[in-house]
Chains A and B, each alone.
Chain A
Amino acid sequence: MTILCVRFQLPSTDEAALPGLLGLLEEFTPVVQALPPHGALADLRGAERYFGRTALELAAVIRVRALALHGVDCVIGAGPNPMVARMALRDARPGLTRAVAGGEVRDFLAGRPVAALPGVGTRTARTLGEYGLDTLGRVAAAPLSTLQRLVGARAGRELHEKANGVDRGRVVPDAVSRSPATERPFTRDELDPGRHRRALLSAAEELGARLRALDKVCRSLTLTVRYADRSATTRTRTLPEPTAHSAALAGAAYALYEALGLQRARVRAIGLRAEGLDPAERASHQLTFDPLDEKARRIEEVADRARARFGPRAVMPGALAA
């Protein structure tokens, strides 16, 4: 009961506020793991002793501070390991922290659907459901070998352990796996490739700017196209070299988009996500004899500075200006 899972009630997808809130948690324990967009795991094993309070009491303090300092309410679940804490969070409400003690983990899990288990996606859940293993209690009761036959050796073992309340995962401090993403929705079903490309360009510009602001480069780019029927196509491509250069990102985005060959698909939104972030200073860059590339990068640098001073719309590609 020493791990807390906190979800801050942030308005919309405002990721910017998260770092500050993580700082709040770090006042209690150094072992804080961000769960973007607005959650975090905190390991309070040391803190309980240090502050002389139980994890539940600390949870109350955290909530008060978050409200007082940031004006943000939060929901907290507590458990003996990260997995249980996460699942406890689902039962929690603002003001009511759900805590699961070590002894009651199995009962807590037994009645729950398998899909509630972190790491069990819709697909695994469906597979298990087909075999009548729709609750964690049933999964726990099934022989390990059968589970391994169902979902594979490793996943089967993990599933078996998790269903029995065993989680070998730890809270890993500063595991910021955040990959910036942005989406351009359309107000209606949009078929026009011109407007699709505009959305891609604008999204790539934004991603580039955000990466450069963080001094990061990304290794790969993921394109997500959402359709009117709520389905989506996702494609990922590794970039030739890690970069945060908007033009390179836009080029990769266009290539991903062209490969889909969309014609009559009713596109409702186009999203880009930069993945595999590395510090910019560790990135390598292939120099060329073509001065254009160099110029483009220098212009970008200047444009970034202009934007920093005059706002994000101060400088932008001509295609987006109209």
Chain B
Amino acid sequence: MPGFTHLHTVSGFSLRYGASHPERLAERASERGMDALALTDRDTLAGSVRFAKACAKAGVRPLFGAELAVAAPAAPGGDESVRRERRRTPVRGGAFIDESAPRVTFLARDGARGWADLCRLVSAAHTHDGLPLLTWDANHADGLTVLLGPDSDVGRALAAGRPDRAVRLLAPWREVYGDALRLEATWHGREGTGPGSLRLAARTLGFAAEQHVRPVLSNAVRYADPGLGPVADVLDAARRLVPVDPAGGLDPGEAWLKGQGAMLEAAERIVAAAGFRREAALRLLEQTQATAAECRVDPEDDLGMGSVHFPEPHLVGAGRRTAQRTLASRAAAGMVMRGYAGRRAYWERMHHELDIIAHHGFASYFLTVSQVVDDVRDMGIRVAARGSGAGSLVNHLLGIAHADPVAHGLLMERFLSKERVVLPDIDIDVESARRLEVYRAIIDRFGTERVATVAMPETYRVRHAVRDVGAALSMDPAEIDRIAKSFPHIRARDARAALEELPELRQLAGEKEKYGRLWELVEALDALPRGIAMHPCGVLLSDASLLTRTPVVPTSGEGFPMAQFDKDDVEDLGLLKLDVLGVRMQSAMAHAVTEVERATGERIDLDAVPEGDPATYGLIRSTETLGCFQIESPGQRDLVGRLQPATFHDLVVDISLFRPGPVAADMVRPFIEARHGRAPVRYPHPDLEEPLKGTYGVVVFHEQVIDIVATLTGCGRGEADRVRRGLSDPESQGRIKVWFAQHAAARGYDAETIRRTWEIVEAFGSYGFCKAHAVAFAVPTYQSAWLKAHHPAAFYAGLLTHDPGMYPKRLLLADARRRGVPVLPLDVNKSGVAHRIELVSESKGSKGPEGPGEPGKPEGVKVPGTWGLRLALSDVHGISETEAARIAEGQPYVSLLDFWERARPSRPLAGRLAQVGALDAFGANRRDLQLHLTELHRGSRGTRGDQLPLSGGRRTAPAGLPDLTPSEKLSAELGVLSMDVSRHLMDDHGAFLQELGVVSARRLREARHGDTVLVAGAKAATQTPPIRSGKRVIFSTLDDGTGLVDLAFFDDSHDACAHTVFHSWLLLVRGVVQRRGPRSLSVVGSAAWNLADLLEVRREEGLEGVAARLAGPAGPRSAGDDGDGPARRRLAGSDGRPAPAGSAARDPMEDRTIRMPTGYEMHPWADLRPAGEGPAVGRKLWHRSPGSAG
């Protein structure tokens, strides 16, 4: 019996079509005894690289292909016009997704040529408007085999019982592909003559024999295992945007990766139905095998995996010289320009680095990056290198990296060494607002045939899965929305476990049975791609052969060319990726600088601000670092308070320490003890003093590990870096330990030293931080803190305009108020499109500080006076860019009528402007203004004629409507601007808070460690970051107008608090003060109430009512846990203190922890959403994100 190869298999990369991952398919093929497997995803090759790797692992030969929709050849007769029937535009629900185009499977046959053809066809199909469609003109290739299956035009003609038509349709195919044409028979046990029916399969076979085209057998695989039919139905429904219709042909559940026996059986049934003898079944399988055997594409040789392609040297300024020569001369020029010419160490380092670069032949890479950076800088965009690339002197000399690596002790080897064969990786940060400009510049420079952005598959997580499955199952949209939103951002596969375990989902868990198959299907969708987006920072740069090695599709919004591969695939394919990250802080700082220049004429060069500015470090030490790059999170403010940075190096250390690794390894405490002289500085050996001196004997940086290993074993730093990388893998760790001990002993170190050093190295693992990264980060950190200290108004204007950081805008506004920056309300005559600064009052003295109440102002401030922050039009809800620009352009306006006629705001927008007082200057109260606007609106539509409803020229006449009450004004501000502008929203509740005895954030600073306190405020941020202990901790920050209160809720309080904390905005919390330093303070919460509820109770029922509410259990449900579902009371600490993180109770969660590629383990309920996801200008009132990124 011949074997069988599945020639037509789709994976999850066929968006909302395939139900299994390519890895799973490869595994199953191997388990079911198949030697080869084809991957023919719909309209994409995105799964190819993973598939190739999985196949290599499973010992299966991969075949590559794609399934494409193909347009019919243009008919000479032109019967098109007859069939075009125009459908009416639906009043609701939208039109059907048109999937009527016939689909054909293409398999790459002739090595690299086949692969290139495949790439070209896929790219060509995506140039079609709407769904991908390959035009007939582009439908030709020499290296491909074509399978005409039931969904092809030929197959459809056969299904319709029109063999004559099939003959006619076959002719053009035969003309183009000749011998490479196959007819594909598929049997899924369906009735009738449609796709998957036995009769169609038999007809296909008969037709093939008649037409002398070779037939093949396939199973049109959509999922790896039997029983996944319902998942395929859900995917179909999600793709077509319709509910699953049980009456409309469900998936028969046969399209799985069947074994050889089952396929032989199918072949026999088909052959029998076609009226051939039994031997024909074997011939059919042989034909299939022969077709598979012809398809020879080697992942290494033909896809180009493992080789490197840089842009041609002449494009990066090499002229006729070699790239290496050019690089050397450019670097030498840099030496002279930067004034290092007289220093021997720099020359040696440069030559050493050039050696390494030459060794790998990466010179054009450096020239390419340098070219890009130069272009960006020429456009006037702030640009900074980040990442390990900052460790290279050559990068510094070429102007890619700012910081001098020699002065900061950064190592080239961390970036690139002779020992390590990987693509080097330089990331550049640019202003986020101008990132796309940068992309365009790169594309213009190198041409679309060499540049493409990188794809990023968006995969199903629990919320999207619930939404899609719910819609497919015809559930009530409101209900779906409620369920989806009640889940945190976790994996879909954990849906049911989360229901069991998460306290905030307990209510939902109670009604879980009601939803039937929902949960099962939700879990089945786990991690399947549901869409492809442009990766926010990767750009591929290659030589002119890019398009033959990767399929490129246009992105939906901007029409950039985008490779279908994601960032990992791209690396495997040896394509050079340059990460261009849009950093909002860079935009914010750029805005602040322009504002200062616009308002005062003073030019600030941020890259040349004086180092060691005392006011800046004073600000940082005060922990009032809201808005400062990298040091604004609650955890960082705590760390900064304990560490008290005084120099740039301290900032570098601070940023490196605030990583999950160092925090978990408790490197923070010894460091701080030693820094403040409370503990002696110890070195394992005097030889190690040099690398460890800067950090008081604590290992903080990767660079230090490299130095330690290199010093003790005498191996080079390149080798030491390889060793360091091996540390994260438990298997290689053992080998390294032996190797380390041997070499160190050989160098004469005693056993005790070796043991202690190894302990340090081992504990350090790979959790440290690359110093080059930290240095690159610390530069904008210092710059932003400097701006905050010296130009606070402009700084806030920049922040609010570009919304960087983790906090909602209203919190920044509260911070501005606290720091004495006047907040000026929106005014159509004064506000600009972006936030601006405005001179509020000339100062009394000649050298008064810019912000009052700011001690220690330097003398450098040239413009005296108080600068205020004028809010921007762009923050008004629903304003469009053009509207904002038009309003700003027409300033000033003399009357409401003038404003209406020249600025031409939309009616709702004008209403919102009136609500927040932007039109107050025109007289009358805000409601009267609204009425006038409505009438102007009616008038402009011609229903009221020319009558002017305004009295006496410029002022607006009152209409006798009640004005907004102060609380209505506040809620209008929150509603329209998402900010409480006129005053802090907690100010209204002062009396009640006093009754309760709530401690304000300011007074909390005097509280003692261990005090039990009540705190209250508006929630500013909630995080459930990955914590290494495997526990889930909810961190929250409250803002009460006097400052911020950082809260932590540990596992034992979750049952009582989690729901309230996640689902209320105003919170009242009881907790215990934790004090770890003069400036470091947090409250460990033990009970939480929704303050908004309590306020209402107070208003309606008085204090008695409040008492009754507090007497009941905290949280919304009074029923408590009546034993339904396992309440997680694993640690019975009830006094609100963190439970001792020990090995006492083995956590049942451990089995499900998520292991990151870095070896870092995450709690499954940790927030999976990447930092900064979601719209930048979202109307958020508080923050929920995973925090610690990086």
* B243 and A261 contact, CB distance less than 8 A: no
Interface contact B961-A131, CB-CB below 8 Å = yes
**A235: nearest chain-B partner, CB-CB:** B91
Task: Decide if A229 touches B477 in the complex (CB within 8 Å).
Answer: yes
Interface residues in B245-269 by Cβ distance below 8 A to A read: 245, 247-248
Asked whether any CB of chain B lies closer than 8 Å to the CB of A291, the reply is: no
> A265, B90: Cβ atoms under 8 Å?
yes
Do residues A227 and B92 form an inter-chain contact, with CB atoms below 8 A? yes
A132 located at the interface, meaning its Cβ lies under 8 Å from any Cβ of chain B in the complex: yes
Residues of A within 8 A of B130 (CB): none
Contact B90 A262 (CB under 8 A): yes
Compute how far the CA of A229 lies from the CA of B471 in the bound complex, rounded to whole angstroms. Answer: 11
B476 touches A263 (CB 8 A): no
Contact B961 A146 (CB under 8 A): yes
| A264 CB-CB contact with B under 8 Å | yes
Contact indicator B95/A264 (Cβ below 8 Å): yes
Give the residues in chain B near A258, CB-CB below 8 Å. Answer: 88
Which of chain B's residues have a CB closer than 8 A to the CB of A233? 91-92
A233→B94 CA distance, assembly (Å): 14
Contact A130 B911 (CB under 8 A): yes
A227 adjacent to B93 (CB under 8 Å): yes
Quick check: A266 and B474 within 8 Å, CB to CB?
yes
Contact B931 A146 (CB under 8 A): yes
Does A143 contact B93, Cβ atoms closer than 8 Å?
A: no
B92: A residues at CB distance < 8 A: 225, 227, 231, 233, 260, 262, 265
A189 within 8 A of B: yes
Q: Judging by beta carbons under 8 Å apart, are A146 and B959 in contact?
A: yes
Shortest CB distance A120–B (Å): 17
Chain B CB within 8 A of A259 CB: yes
Chain B at the A interface: SS class: loop
Are A261 and B91 touching (Cβ within 8 A)?
A: yes
- Give every chain B residue within 8 A of A264 (Cβ-Cβ): 90, 93-96, 240-242
Answer yes or no: A188 CB below 8 A from chain B CBs: yes
B959 lies within 8 A of A266 (CB): no
| Pair B96/A131 contact, Cβ less than 8 Å | no
Q: Residue A138 at the B interface, CB < 8 A?
A: yes
Question: What is the CB-to-nearest-CB distance from B344 to chain A, in angstroms, rounded to a whole number?
Answer: 74
A302 within 8 A of partner (CB): no
Pick from A150, A189, A230, A260: contact of B243, CB under 8 Å = A189
CB interface residues, B 946-984, toward A, < 8 Å: 949, 959-964, 968
| B964–A132 touching, CB < 8 Å | yes
On whether the beta carbons of B88 and A261 are closer than 8 Å, the reply is yes
By the criterion CB–CB under 8 Å, are B961 and A230 in contact?
A: no
Indicate if A168 sits at the interface (CB-CB under 8 A): no
Contact with B along A250-262 (1 / 0, CB 8 A): 0000000011111
Q: Evaluate contact between A260 and B90: CB separation under 8 angstroms.
A: yes
Query: Within 8 Å of chain A (Cβ to Cβ): is B930?
Result: yes
Instruction: Contact check, A149 vs B247: say whether CB atoms are below 8 A apart.
Output: no
Q: Answer yes or no: A192 CB below 8 A from chain B CBs.
A: yes
* Chain A residue at minimal CB-CB distance from B477: A229
Task: Please give, as numbers and ranges, the residues of chain A lying within 8 Å of B89 by CB-CB distance.
Answer: 261
Say yes or no for B478: interface residue by CB 8 A criterion.
yes
- A142 CB-CB contact with B under 8 Å: yes
B320 touches A (CB below 8 Å)? no
Q: How far is the CA of A230 from the CA of B248 in the complex (A)?
A: 24
Interface size of A in residues (CB-CB distance below 8 Å): 30
Cβ contacts under 8 Å, A229 to chain B = 477-478
Q: Which of B95, B96, B961 has its CB near the most chain A CB atoms (within 10 A)?
A: B961
| Chain A residue contacts of B964, Cβ below 8 A | 132
**Residue A133 CB within 8 A of the other chain:** yes
Report yes or no: A263 in contact with B94, Cβ–Cβ below 8 A.
yes
Decide: A146 and B474 in contact? CB cutoff 8 A: no
- For residue B911, which residue of chain A has the nearest CB? A130
The answer to the question of A191 belonging to the interface, with a C-beta cut-off of 8 Å to chain B, is yes
Q: Is the CB of B93 within 8 A of A265?
A: yes
The answer to whether B478 touches A230, judged by C-beta atoms less than 8 angstroms apart, is yes
Nearest B residue to A232 via CB reads B92
Is the pair A149, B931 in contact by a Cβ cutoff of 8 Å? yes
Asked whether B96 lies within 8 Å of A263 as measured between CB atoms, the reply is yes
Which of A192, A259, A262, A265 is close to B248, meaning CB atoms less than 8 Å apart?
Answer: A192
Whether B830 is near chain A, meaning CB under 8 Å from some CB there, is no
Neighbouring B residues of A263 by C-beta, 8 Å: 87, 90, 93-96
- Interface residue ranges of A132-161 to B (CB < 8 Å): 132-133, 138, 142-143, 146, 149-150
Q: Is the CB of B474 within 8 A of A188?
A: yes
Q: Which residue of A lies closest to B246 (CB)?
A: A188
In the complex, are the beta carbons of A132 and B927 less than 8 A apart?
Answer: yes
Does chain A have a CB within 8 A of B935? yes
Which residues from A are CB-within-8-Å of B960? 142-143, 146
B813-842 contacts to A, CB under 8 A, are none
Asked if A69 lies at the interface with its beta carbon under 8 angstroms from chain B, I say: no
A228 within 8 Å of B by Cβ? yes
Bound-state CA distance A59–B953 (Å) is: 60
- Give, as a whole number of angstroms, the nearest-CB distance from B86 to chain A: 10
A-facing mask of B884-923, CB < 8 A → 1, else 0? 0000000000000000000000000001000000000000
Task: Say yes or no: B962 contacts A228, CB within 8 Å.
Answer: no
| Shortest Cβ gap from B822 to chain A (Å) | 29
Q: Is the CB of A260 within 8 A of B91?
A: yes
| A321–B91 CA distance with the chains assembled, in angstroms | 31
**What residues on B are CB-neighbors of A262 within 8 Å?**
90-93
Inter-chain contacts of B247 with A (CB < 8 A): 192
Identify which of residues 67-117 in chain B touch chain A, using a CB-to-CB cut-off of 8 Å: 87-96
What residues of B have a CB within 8 angstroms of the CB of A142 in the complex? 960-962
Residues of A within 8 A of B962 (CB): 132-133, 138, 142
Residues of B within 8 Å of A261, CB to CB, are: 87-91
CB distance from B249 to the nearest CB of A (A): 12
State which of B96, B474, B930 has its C-beta within 8 Å of the C-beta of A130.
B930
Give Cα A133 to B89, complex, Å. 40
A133: chain B residues within 8 A (beta carbon): 961-962
A170-209: CB near B (< 8 Å → 1, else 0) gives: 0000000000000000001101100000000000000000
Give, as a whole number of angstroms, the nearest-CB distance from B521 to chain A. Answer: 16
Q: Report chain A residues within 8 Å CB of B961.
A: 131-133, 142, 146
For window 83-139 of A, CB contacts with B under 8 Å fall at: 130-133, 138
Known: A138-B962, A228-B476, A266-B243. Contact between A132 and B968, CB under 8 A?
Answer: yes
Tell me the chain A residues, 264-290 only, with Cβ under 8 Å from chain B. Answer: 264-266
Chain B nearest CB from A155 CB (Å) reads 14
Q: Please report the C-alpha to C-alpha distance between residue A191 and residue B931 in the assembled complex, in whole angstroms.
A: 44
Contact at A150–B90, with CB atoms within 8 Å? Answer: no
CB-CB under 8 A from A230, the residues of chain B are: 476-478
Name the residue among B92, B248, B476, B961 with the largest chain A CB count within 10 angstroms. B92
Residues of A within 8 A of B930 (CB): 130-131
Q: How far is the CB of A236 from chain B (nearest CB, A)?
A: 14
The distance in angstroms between the C-alpha atoms of A41 and B734, with both chains bound, is 91
* A150 x B931 contact (CB < 8 A): yes
Q: Which residues of B contact A149 (CB under 8 A)?
A: 931, 935, 949, 959
Q: How far is A132 from B96 in the complex, measured between Cα atoms in Å?
A: 44
Shortest Cβ gap from A228 to chain B (Å): 6
The residues of A that contact B240 with a CB separation of less than 8 Å are 264
- In the complex, which residues of chain A have a beta carbon less than 8 angstroms from the beta carbon of B963? 132
What is the CB-to-nearest-CB distance from A268 to chain B, in angstroms, rounded to a whole number?
9
Query: What's the Cα separation between A233 and B88 when bound, in Å?
Result: 16
Given A191-B243, A261-B89: A143 and B959 within 8 A (CB)?
A: yes
Distance (Å) between the CB of A148 and the closest chain B CB? Answer: 11
Question: Can you list 23 A-B pairs with a CB-CB distance of less than 8 A?
Answer: A130-B911, A130-B930, A131-B927, A133-B961, A146-B959, A150-B931, A191-B245, A227-B92, A228-B474, A229-B478, A233-B91, A258-B88, A261-B88, A261-B90, A263-B87, A263-B93, A263-B94, A263-B96, A264-B93, A264-B94, A264-B96, A265-B90, A266-B474
Q: A143-B959, A188-B474 are in contact. List 16 more A-B contacts (CB 8 A).
A: A130-B911, A131-B961, A132-B961, A146-B961, A149-B949, A191-B245, A192-B247, A225-B92, A228-B474, A259-B88, A261-B88, A262-B90, A262-B91, A262-B92, A264-B90, A265-B90
Which 7 residue pairs spanning A and B have beta carbons closest together? A265-B93, A261-B88, A189-B474, A188-B474, A189-B243, A265-B92, A264-B93
